[in-house]
């Protein structure tokens, strides 16, 4: 099964993000925009594995406080055939530290992870082609687009009736880390 570890958001916050995505959709010719249920920040992509126990153990070993997340920009990774459009954080030091620690824990349990620098972002759409003249970076975000995450989740990625679906298999909250 395909696994990753993520910070998820409650529905109230996801609705705020959906308003931003709506503006992007209005200004795009095409794109594969994220479903509301799938909005998250990936801390570590694990990939194909049956070792759920090892992934849970890595997550269980984390010690973290509540994670302040504040989005301050829309940007994109330019790709041929369409860009990956995302929300960027004003500060991601805490998330970066957590992602690094999680990566170390996963590697000690035998997981082979991608060797790339962590760049905290929330993917809004893939293969997005914007209308001529529109620059997503010019989109003004609402004030205080902030969230405080208190848990990290092990997620399963699968297609259900052709729809990409993410399902939480396990989570660790900051309260558990203080015991």
Alpha carbons 34 and 14: distance in angstroms, whole number: 11
pLDDT in tens, 24-40: 999 999 999 999 999 99
Quick one: pLDDT at residue 115? 80
pLDDT at 176 > cutoff 60: no
**In Å, what is the CA distance from 88 to each residue of 107, 122, 137, 150?**
27, 7, 10, 19
User: Is residue 139 packed enough to be buried (19+ CB in 10 Å), middle (13-18) or exposed (0-12)?
Assistant: middle
CATH architecture observed for domain 2-177: Alpha-Beta Complex (3.90)
pLDDT at 177 > cutoff 60: no
Active site residues: 40, 121
pLDDT in tens, 46-69: 999 999 999 999 999 999 999 999
Quick one: pLDDT at residue 147? 96
Sequence-ordered alpha helix ranges (H) in the chain: 11-26, 52-60, 93-108, 174-177
pLDDT in tens, 155-175: 999 999 999 999 999 999 996
Alpha carbons 80 and 129: distance in angstroms, whole number: 10
Distant-in-sequence, close-in-space partners of 138: CB < 8 Å, separation ≥ 6? none
């Amino acid at each position: 099964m395909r696994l990753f570890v993520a910070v998820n958001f409650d529905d109230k916050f996801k609705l705020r993000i959906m308003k931003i995505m709506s503006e992007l959709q209005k200004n795009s010719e095409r794109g594969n925009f994220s479903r509301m249920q799938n909005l998250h920040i990936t801390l570590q992509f694990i990939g194909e594995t049956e070792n759920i126990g090892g992934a849970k153990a890595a997550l269980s070993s984390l010690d973290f406080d509540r994670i302040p997340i504040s989005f301050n920009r829309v940007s994109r990774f330019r790709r041929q055939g369409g860009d990956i459009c995302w929300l960027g954080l004003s500060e991601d030091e805490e998330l970066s530290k957590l992602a690094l620690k999680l990566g170390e824990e996963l590697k000690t349990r035998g997981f082979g992870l991608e060797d790339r620098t962590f760049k905290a972002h929330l993917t809004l759409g893939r293969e997005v082609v914007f209308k001529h003249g529109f620059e997503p970076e010019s989109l003004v975000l609402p004030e205080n687009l902030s969230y405080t995450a208190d848990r990290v989740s092990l997620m399963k990625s699968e297609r259900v009736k052709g729809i990409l679906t993410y399902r939480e298999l396990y989570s660790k909250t900051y309260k558990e880390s203080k015991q």
